[in-house]
Amino acid sequence: MAKPILDVENLSVDINVPSGVLRAVQNISFSVARGETLCIVGESGCGKSITALSLMNLLPRTARRSADTLLLDGQDLSSLREREMSDLRGNAMAMIFQEPMTSLNPAYSIGNQLEEAMRRHRNVSNSEARDRAVFLLEKVGITGARGRLGQYPHQLSGGLRQRVMIAMCLMCEPALILADEPTTALDVTIQAQILHLLAELRDEFETSLILITHDLGIVARVADRVAVMYAGEFVETGTAEQVFNAPSHPYTQGLLRCIPIPGKTKRGAHLGAIPGIVPNLVGRLEGCHFASRCPHVHDACRSGQLALRPAFEESHHYRCVLSPEACAENLKSGVAA
């Protein structure tokens, strides 16, 4: 396999909170190849945004990151100083937030901001930067782009702003784009358009994409590889086919039973549920993080540290004491959370 664009091993993030140390992200490992899309999926509070922010080195001051390996295109991110890191942001790696106004400045025209995003990192003339801005705005589906350069963010709808944000991300042809819930605030119709666009651009520019979402539908449709996150850990990783067609971890199985699927779920029938709440992440959790909500929990689940173990197929892993055979049996019998 070719060298990955991003290689992460045992990434952890601890956050200091009044009651102690909140272990927001715990020893997650993954890599992303060129042109590949990794989706990180999980419910609110599981650590998705903190993971993204830690890669961008944009963590809150109270947070501390550690990792055994953190390589972007072979370059060790953990050894970089903030100045060098800020050279990379928007350049080799760029981030799209749920709310585009997080990154767009209301006081400047969109043309201005797009051009500036390029001039900060590249030695280009004003007209070169402008031409690229127009080219990319058109690429992201904004018609009459040259005439719109003078518009301000507030003059655009949410969907258009997110398109501008994507164009801005692409100004310096980043090797990696991190998108954190990029379509969560948008209507389903606009969501489909934006995701379609991201997939097209990824293919055209061979960009690698880490897409973070709580929406399993999005994940199934855009991911090459999937990481299911629960309480700071990856609990299942694999290709989209493996995770959706043969979910192994009781949490993944439970999540997939919770959502109604038109044409598949019997209309009006009871949906699956995962009773209980996410454990408190302050302090060290013993055993399986899902134990307090798992329908298959037994004594062995509650002690030690569980490692990711291989499922039946290569590159498919899950974190649970149950054997692959037992997991497959649970999936078939429908006894899940």
Partner 1 sequence: MSDPVIEARDVTRTFMIGSGFMRAKKPLHAVNGISLNVERGEVLGIVGESGCGKSTLARMMLGLLTPTSGTLHLDGQLVGSADRIEVARILQPIFQDPYSSLNPRKSIGNIIMLPLRVQKDPNPETWRKRTEEIMDLVGLPTRVFNNFPSQLSGGQRQRVAIARALINRPKIVICDEPTSALDVSVQSQILNLLQDLRAEFGLTYVLISHNLAVIEHMATRVAVMYLGRIVEQNETGALFETPMHPYTQALLDSVLTPEPGLGVPDTHLGAAYPNPVDPPSGCTFHPRCAAVMDQCPKQFPPRVAVRGGMVECHLYAGGAGKKARKGKKNER
Ligand X SMILES: Nc1ncnc2c1ncn2[C@@H]1O[C@H](COP(=O)(O)OP(=O)(O)O)[C@@H](O)[C@H]1O
**Using CB under 6 A as the criterion, which residues of the chain lie in contact with ligand SF4 when the complex forms?**
249-250, 288, 290-291, 294, 296-297, 301, 320-322
In the bound complex, which residue of the shown chain has the CB atom lying closest to Mg ion?
49
Cα radius of gyration (the chain): 21
Do residues 254 and 337 make contact, with C-beta atoms less than 8 angstroms apart?
yes
Q: What angle do CA 91, 97, 102 make, to 5 degrees?
A: 90
Between 2 and 277, name the residue whose CB sits nearer to partner 1.
277
Residue 212 half-sphere exposure toward CB, CA atoms < 13 A: 22
Consecutive H or E run containing 40 = strand 37-41
Do residues 69 and 9 make contact, with C-beta atoms less than 8 angstroms apart?
yes
User: At 95, is the secondary structure helix, strand, or coil?
Assistant: strand
For partner 1, the binding residue among 196, 284, 298, 302 (CB under 8 A) is 196
How would you label 128-140 residue by residue, b for 16+ Cβ within 10 Å and e otherwise?
Answer: ebbebbbebbebb
Between 149 and 258, name the residue whose CB sits nearer to ligand SF4.
258
Q: How far is the CB of 158 from partner 1 (least distance, A)?
A: 9
Structure token digits, residue 7: 């290689």
For partner 1, the binding residue among 223, 231, 291, 308 (CB under 8 A) is 223
Q: How far is the CB of 240 from ligand SF4 (least distance, A)?
A: 21
Q: How far is the CB of 93 from ligand SF4 (least distance, A)?
A: 33
Q: How far is the CB of 294 from ligand SF4 (least distance, A)?
A: 3
Q: How far is the CB of 293 from ligand SF4 (least distance, A)?
A: 8
Consecutive H or E run containing 27 = strand 20-32
Instruction: Kindly write out the interface string for residues 232-271 of this chain, putting x where it contacts ligand X by CB under 6 A and - elsewhere.
Output: ----------------------------------------
- Contact positions toward partner 1, by CB under 8 A? 43-44, 157, 159-160, 187-193, 195-196, 199, 214-223, 239-241, 244-245, 254-265, 267-268, 270-275, 277, 337
